[in-house]
Structure 1
């Protein structure tokens, strides 16, 4: 079941990333919208309403979750860059996935994710390497630097896109 839930494995942090690694992650963020669109471009409504694993979210819920998560991460990054180690808000992603907006067409979340990523990439590309040492306090992970947050951002997007892609492969879509 963990192979379905974590098709790329669990998050593994790089302690002291280089500028080259950060630049690669920023490029990954800039490509995420295109990769996600390609992963879901020809899926039917029935396929979008299929759980990526037994007991898991549907593909549609995963897509809406990605937009929500990136929106929250964007705010955390901005707060960390403008405040001294601010508290980051958490959210009940399990309950958000049950709200009615998660039953709307996926285009709104695809567009939202693309728009957020354009803005966060603009911020990240303008940062000095020392800016990545700025922190925020996560209710679930404690004090986190932007060096770690960018890694989590990229891993999280890849993680969920891989869930969709592995479902497609298993189902022969």
Structure 2
């Protein structure tokens, strides 16, 4: 992974995701399958996860060898009012957090992103892992959002189609 590639991936995911924050209220209630998160919940999850990535990359860069805790996305969704969150505030938070990560990748020397911490579930976790995860996680959920928009089924890459 290099700086130019990760910056491009982070910007692309941001550009593709932002329009969903401005969706009509009825669309925000749609899901790609029964019992799965709707658009609003996916966007709230992406926003909260971006905050986590924002924090983690700073911790690893500034305090290498620290401990990084996992979080339970379903507990966050249940506790943090995912169905009621303000869309404008979420968009601003998501965008600002992502742009701040991009700025760090752009400004800091590439080798500093090799610094690592210990993740409570994954073990060694490098700053590159965090910024890479920010892009791939975003694109994973963008796939769900695009499927909802297009009215098509969605399955994780590599899984059998529903």
Give the structure-1-normalised TM-score.
Answer: 0.78
Give the structure-2-normalised TM-score.
Answer: 0.83
1:140, distance to aligned residue in structure 2 (A)? 2.3
Structure 1 residues 130 and 100: CA distance shift in structure 2, 3 A = closer
2:61–2:115 CA contact under 8 A, matched in 1 = yes
SS in 2 for 1:147: helix
Counterpart of 2:112?
131
Q: Does 1:84 align with 2:64?
A: yes
Structure 1 residues 114 and 40: CA distance shift in structure 2, 3 A = closer
* Structure 1, unpaired ranges of 5+: 1-16
Task: Give the number of aligned pairs.
Answer: 151
Tell me how far apart the structure 2 counterparts of residues 72 and 91 of structure 1 sit (CA, whole Å).
Answer: 9
SS in 1 for 2:66: coil
Report matched runs for 1:12-161 at 5 Å: 17=1, 19=2, 22-41=3-22, 43-99=23-79, 101-102=81-82, 103-161=84-142
Tell me how far apart the structure 1 counterparts of residues 119 and 34 of structure 2 sit (CA, whole Å).
Answer: 29
Q: CA RMSD of the aligned region, Å?
A: 1.8
